[in-house]
Amino acid sequence: MSVKRITSFRQSLLRWYRRHGRDLPWRRTRKPYPILVSEFMLQQTQVATVLPYYKEWLRRFPRFAALARAPESDVLHAWQGLGYYTRARNLHATARLIVDRHRGRFPKAIYAIQKLPGVGKYTAHAIATFALDQSVPIVEANSARVLSRLFDLRIPIDSTVGQSKIWNYAAGLVPKKSAATYNSALLDLGALICLPRNPKCGICPVRKFCRVKNPGSLPIKRARPAVKEFAEKHALIVRDGKILLKQSADRWRGMWILPPANGGSKNRRAIYSAPFSFSLTIIPSVRRAF
């Protein structure tokens, strides 16, 4: 885009955002900690699901120091229901790192932020723009979809080349001032208008800048890896109204689970003991696109 069209694009987007942007609690602060918490929770989780957890989390762990002091069991319990518990462990590890190594001060340089546990390029840039007021681009699922359609990108956005192009597009559009507001507007455009299915092109505030003719055909992504299924057998053991649990040391990484069934329970005093099995679906881990 020319400089004139970029300016016009930003103006149209921000005008729409001022009227229709989402009022989210993490947008009411510029403190790194609550913004970091929101970014971790929003990874692969919808905003509506995150909202009640976010409020309760900040009540229990209001600052880095409070989270750093908490035992892992309390952290995982507070995260219960959000899934992808590695995020909670990484957030906990980050809090301890901030307190122990950075004396409670959040780093300002993006390269330093990206060294924190569980913090990738997108999260580092999001914190830099939303908490530290830095003029940097951010690219996640919503904004990547907007940009791929805006520039009619006909290669997989989760490929190395595709990622590079998307980030370059984003960098070329972000303003030098008020980048946080602009980036929030771009995210909301993808969340509210430029939807994965049935995008609302008829009311899109920047449709005159969009190059794609068939928005539903974009973005293009690589084929997902095959899903693997495993079966595990566990025993349900009840005694005096209590259920026997065991803390896992392998696949479940410290979670409390029913004990593995090895031919039935040897606890003859158990009121009820029965082995059962369930299927576990494993999706092979892949590098996050953004």
The 10s digit of each residue's pLDDT in 58-107 is 999 999 999 999 999 999 999 999 999 999 999 999 999 999 999 999 99
Please provide the average confidence, as pLDDT, over all residues in the chain: 91
Residue type, 129: T
| Predicted pLDDT of residue 283 | 52
What pLDDT is recorded for position 272?
53
Is position 39 annotated as part of the catalytic site? yes
Place of tokens 């307190």: 99
Q: Which two tokens stand for residue 54?
A: 């976010």
What's the pLDDT score for residue 22?
98
Q: Which tens digit of pLDDT belongs to each residue from 3-18?
A: 999 999 999 999 999 9
- Alpha-carbon distance 288 to 119, whole Å? 11
User: What is each CA distance from 279 to 230, 231, 239, in whole angstroms?
Assistant: 6, 5, 26
Q: What is the DSSP string of the chain?
A: --HHHHHHHHHHHHHHHHHH----GGGG---HHHHHHHHHHHTTS-HHHHHHHHHHHHHH--SHHHHHHS-HHHHHHHHTTS--THHHHHHHHHHHHHHHHSTTPPP-SHHHHTTSTT--HHHHHHHHHHTT--------HHHHHHHHHHTT--S-TTSHHHHHHHHHHHHHH--SSSHHHHHHHHHHHHHHTS-SSS--GGG-TTGGG---S-GGG-S--PPPPPPEEEEEEEEEEEETTEE--EE-SSTTTT-EEPPBPSSS---TT-SEEEEEEEEEEEPPP-----
Q: What is the structure's pLDDT at 275?
A: 57
Low-confidence ranges of the chain (pLDDT < 50): 263-265, 267-271, 285-289
Angstrom distance (rounded) from CA 231 to CA 278: 6
Model's pTM, two decimal places?
A: 0.84
Domains defined along the chain, listed by start: 31-132 (1.10.340.30), 228-282 (no CATH)
Q: Which of 279, 270, 269, 283 is nearest to 235 (CA)?
A: 270
Catalytic residue among 39, 72, 140, 229: 39
